[in-house]
Amino acid sequence: MIRIAIDAMGGDFGPEPVIEGVVQALEERKFIPILVGDKEEILSFLPPYYVDKVEIVEASDVIDMSDAATDALKRKDSSIYKAVELVREGQADAVMSAGHSGATMTAATLRIGRLPGISKPGLATLMPSIGKHKTLVLDVGSVTDCKPQNLYEFGAMGEAYAEKILGISSPTVGLLSNGSEDSKGNELTKATFPLLKNLKGFIGNVEGKDIFNGKVNVIVCDGFTGNILLKTSEGVVATVFDLMKQYIRKSLPAKIGAFMMKKKVFVNMKKQIDKDEYGGAPLLGLKGCAIISHGASSPKAIKNAIFQAIRYVESDVNTTIEKRLSEGN
């Protein structure tokens, strides 16, 4: 059975939502969660029925959001370090953490190691789209200053992930740029463009709006730009709904109207754009599987991140990534 190491202490709200998410996941799927953290605290949140359905690995230290990412390598009693080590030692198939994402990425990259042909792993996230599939964007925060080779590898890994995990038979890959014409781009993307032509699914430059309109399945960018576009998108969505609420509050007919729209419109929309539905972001390019979840993850987000880890392991996407990169170069 698939074994998933879970950093039980990470996340903005401590172990409670993480453990509740694990319980919700266990209600739907069979797998072995290995909860890493303070055993007493973990047991205090774990319903008795589930005590013999999990394994617990004691870790006395927690890396805080204000600590440096490199602390993950020095503080060997931390829940992140110990959870990552379980994958390294073959005792777990995947690791999932909603804790310090930089620390998790650093520990996973250096302790689990990279696949052959990968210079740096890339963090991939699914974004909502009105197309048939969600859009996979990478890198969204692993490599701040990229070289063309990094972006090429992100493209190859994204293509493999879209095929194997999202089930898209011939996924398309676009290079995020400041215009869709081939001539557009900055120095980095212009140097990347010819490399990406080696990918079967490469369709050229794409723009910010193409994340959402279903034009392309995989979008490649550097981690600085990716992080900014992710936070910008979240900001826009939050602002649109904040504004709407402000105006609704001021008018009785609007209040009634909003009530009538709630079930069929707002609930469905929330479901479609809610990031909790996506779970976490896989760090692609590792000799293993690491899923990085948002610090503010709800139990539902944790559950979905676990399901993502299970799909990752079952699909054997890493073999596909390795194969693609050995062919492409």
Positions of E strands within the chain:
3-7, 32-37, 55-58, 94-97, 122-127, 135-138, 173-176, 202-206, 218-220, 281-284, 289-292
Q: How far is residue 323's CA from residue 325's CA, in Å, rounded to a whole number?
A: 5
122-127 and 173-176 beta bridge pairing: unpaired
Smallest separation (angstroms) from a copy of itself to the CB of 292: 15
Q: How far is residue 109's CA from residue 54's CA, in Å, rounded to a whole number?
A: 26
Q: How many CA atoms lie within 13 A of 116 on its CB side?
A: 9
Residues that bind a copy of itself (CB under 8 A): 128-130, 141, 144-145, 176-179, 185-187, 189, 207-213, 221-225, 227-240, 242-244, 246-248, 250-251, 253-254, 256-261, 263-265, 268-269, 272-273
C-alpha distance from residue 182 to each of 159, 192, 195, 206, 216 (Å): 20, 11, 13, 10, 16
Smallest separation (angstroms) from a copy of itself to the CB of 95: 23
Q: How many CA atoms lie within 13 A of 203 on its CB side?
A: 16
Smallest separation (angstroms) from a copy of itself to the CB of 85: 27
Residue 279 tokens read as 């779970």
Residue 200 is given by DSSP the state T
- At 286 the three-state DSSP class reads strand
CB 284, CB 143: distance < 8 Å: no
CB 288, CB 87: distance < 8 Å: yes
Smallest separation (angstroms) from a copy of itself to the CB of 258: 6
Q: E strand or H helix at 295, and its extent?
A: none
In angstroms, how far is the first alpha carbon of the chain from the final one? 35
Residue 52 or 145 with smaller CB distance to a copy of itself: 145
Smallest separation (angstroms) from a copy of itself to the CB of 100: 12
- At 247 the three-state DSSP class reads helix
- Please state, as a whole number, how many other Cβ atoms lie within 10 Å of the Cβ of residue 140: 23
